[in-house]
Amino acid sequence: MTFENLLFNIDEGVGTVTFNRPKVLNALNNALLSEFSDLLGQVAENEEIRVLVLTGAGDRAFVAGADITELATFNPLQGKAFARKGQNTIQTLQELPIPVIAAVNGFALGGGTEMALATDFIYASENANFGLPEITLGLIPGFGGTQRLPRLIGSNRAKEIIFTGGMINAKDALEFGIVNRLCAAESLMADTLDTARRIASKGKVSLRAAKESVNNGLNADLATGLLVELDAFALCMASDDAKEGTAAFLKKRKAEFKGKRNE
């Protein structure tokens, strides 16, 4: 797969997407969003890919936000269409049936933070910075930032970040619960890929069920969430992966999961 604004490779069941516009700090424009949306569709259908990793080209930025040069040319209807495109693409990312990890190297601002928030968790370099600076442009976050950030860290802290437009350094992002782990810049990708490979060694069916159970349960009360989990557990029990996993345990050998996500 060849793209103008993305790099993509698959290794040991892990797909890695690199946002590749380093001259503009990997800023999001219409062309990149279209390519990324197309790629996500291909990833969702590819049984070889068990985990997806996102990162940015260069050592300065993951994604430094929307491309302001393009954004400044939009009228209100074009701006709404661009925001809808960003929201839809990022929602597709969040709904992928495989785990997704963001490896944030440098600036993740505006759409970069919004992109990272839609992954399952974030590893960040010690020099990473997050933020939603749209208020400084007379705008608000338009790719889901006003919705995902409060759900993750609470409304009061999210409002302060959104209202001030200020940046959050890596240490504070870890404390706030935005980031799972801080890594030295030089080891960020190695650390992220190590975790990705450990996840990729697990069963596809159970990974999908676990992700859907957590995500769907968060949108329901506890009693409903437990029913979601119950159904997902039962579906796992019917899978080839469950048969392999339990047999491997009883025979004291390593499990070799070969099930398909749509079982």
The single residue listed with the structure tokens 């990022």 is: 90
Active site residue 114: yes
Q: Which of 4, 12, 35, 134 is catalytic?
A: 134
Q: Which of 48, 114, 175, 229 is catalytic?
A: 114
Identify any residues that bridge with 66 across adjacent strands, giving them in sequence order.
28
d(C-alpha 197, C-alpha 52), whole Å: 10
Using H for helix, E for strand and C for coil, what is the string for the chain? Answer: CCCCCEEEEEECCEEEEEECCHHHCCCECHHHHHHHHHHHHHHHHCCCCCEEEEEECCCCEEECCECHHHHCCCCHHHHHHHHHHHHHHHHHHHCCCCCEEEEECCEEECHHHHHHHCCCEEEEECCCEEECHHHHHCCCCCCCHHHHHHHHHCHHHHHHHHHHCCEEEHHHHHHHCCCCEEECHHHHHHHHHHHHHHHHCCCHHHHHHHHHHHHHHHCCCHHHHHHHHHHHHHHHHCCHHHHHHHHHHHCCCCCCCCCCCCC
Active site residue 134: yes
Catalogue the active-site residues.
114, 134
